[in-house]
Structure 1
Amino acid sequence: MTRRLLLILALPALLLAGCDEADQATEAPPPVALTREAMGHFCGMTLVEHPGPKGQILLRGNARPVWFSSARDAIAFTLLDEESKAIRAIYVSDMAKAQTWEDPGATNWVEARQAWFVLGSDRRGGMGAEEAVPFSDQTAAERFAAAHGGRVLRLTEVPRDWVLGEGSAPPGEARDATPPRDAAAAPHRH
């Protein structure tokens, strides 16, 4: 009887704690403005040294973002088993609002899960690597692809082997977005 009573009394607190965690997971914190001091997670260099779109991931329990010198590297972080899965938000530079390729802007961000990505374009991101060029607007992504080549995809359609592999994906070729778990590929580290 006492054990049952304790369980009944504890149940509302457990339910509230669960709701709080669910609410935190669905309410993404706002992106952080890019500063000259932001250092790339994989390359260890300042982001402003690299052209093209950047990325930032906000993790639960950490107010500072994990920075990436390219949108592709930000996507790679989400796919690697050894990296944190306590992700609250994934932001990438919104190239629809960028002034130039060299300077995509300190506050032009789009949540990656809402973005349109162009893969296979002639534009190169950080360290000269092939880039997943993000846009908040599908029409802007399609215009970019028409001008620079490539195909327009959503984040869930970006092939894992393209992100983690060394090769590039031909613009028109459909590839498996979920290769075998034993793939030993690493992110395009700089």
Structure 2
Amino acid sequence: MRAAPILALLLLLPACREEVAEAPPPVAMTDAALSHFCQMNIAEHGGPKGQIHLEGMPGPLFFAQVRDLVAYLKSPERDARVTAVYVSDMGRAASWALPGENNWTDANAAFFVVDAGVAGGMGAPEIVPFAARDGAEAFVAQYGGEIHSLDDIPDHAAIGPVDLDSVLEHPS
């Protein structure tokens, strides 16, 4: 007789599990996409871009620089649940000035070059994403820096004062 209540509880367990929603796909960057922090049109600025999808929001937050995206993710004041994060794959970008409208890659699987001394779309030092490690390694060979995963990007690369004298205008 004791098995019946235990069996009933076991049958209810799957109903108690939190449903994990499928990550939304990336959204193409258009001329109407505005950067979350500055509300400027991101298509007018070179360098890699980012987008963050939040639970309950109909569209992503766009970022004119990956540095800004990382700062947002590191912010202790953010309270919405992140459902997906995408960044420009600079290995597939036509150029620094034309980072691409649909060459997004999952930020959690990307390789990020930090401290390369290159300026992003808003002029601050940029964190440069690549879908493939060899793309990141080639960038480091040309511009310097270190390769990190999203979770391992040091705070100084995204948060804190910016030394504009230490960055190039943009990579060629």
- Give the TM-score normalised by the residue count of structure 1: 0.76
The residue that corresponds to 2:126 in the other structure is 131
Q: Distance in 2 between matches of 1:160 and 1:60?
A: 25
Number of positions where the alignment pairs a residue of Structure 1 with one of Structure 2: 156
The residue that corresponds to 2:113 in the other structure is 118
The answer to whether structure 1 residue 60 and structure 2 residue 55 are counterparts is yes
Q: Distance in 2 between matches of 1:82 and 1:93?
A: 25
CA contact (8 A) 1:56 1:68 kept: yes
Give runs of ≥4 in structure 1 deviating > 2 Å.
14-19
The residue that corresponds to 2:44 in the other structure is 49
1:40-80 CA-partner distances (Å, limit 9, x unpaired): 11111010121100010011111200110011111111111
- Give the TM-score normalised by the residue count of structure 2: 0.83
Mark the runs of 5 or more structure 2 residues left unpaired by the alignment: 164-172
Q: Which has the higher helix share?
A: 1
Q: Distance in 2 between matches of 1:81 and 1:120?
A: 23
The answer to whether structure 1 residue 18 and structure 2 residue 17 are counterparts is yes
The residue that corresponds to 2:81 in the other structure is 86
CA contact (8 A) 2:127 2:157 kept: no
**% identical equivalent positions:** 42
Q: Give me the CA root mean square deviation.
A: 1.9
Q: Distance in 2 between matches of 1:140 and 1:114?
A: 14
The answer to whether structure 1 residue 154 and structure 2 residue 149 are counterparts is yes
Q: Distance in 2 between matches of 1:122 and 1:164?
A: 16
Mark the runs of 5 or more structure 1 residues left unpaired by the alignment: 169-190
Deviation at 1:17, TM superposition (A): 5.6
CA contact (8 A) 1:50 1:102 kept: yes
SS state of the match for residue 137, structure 2? helix
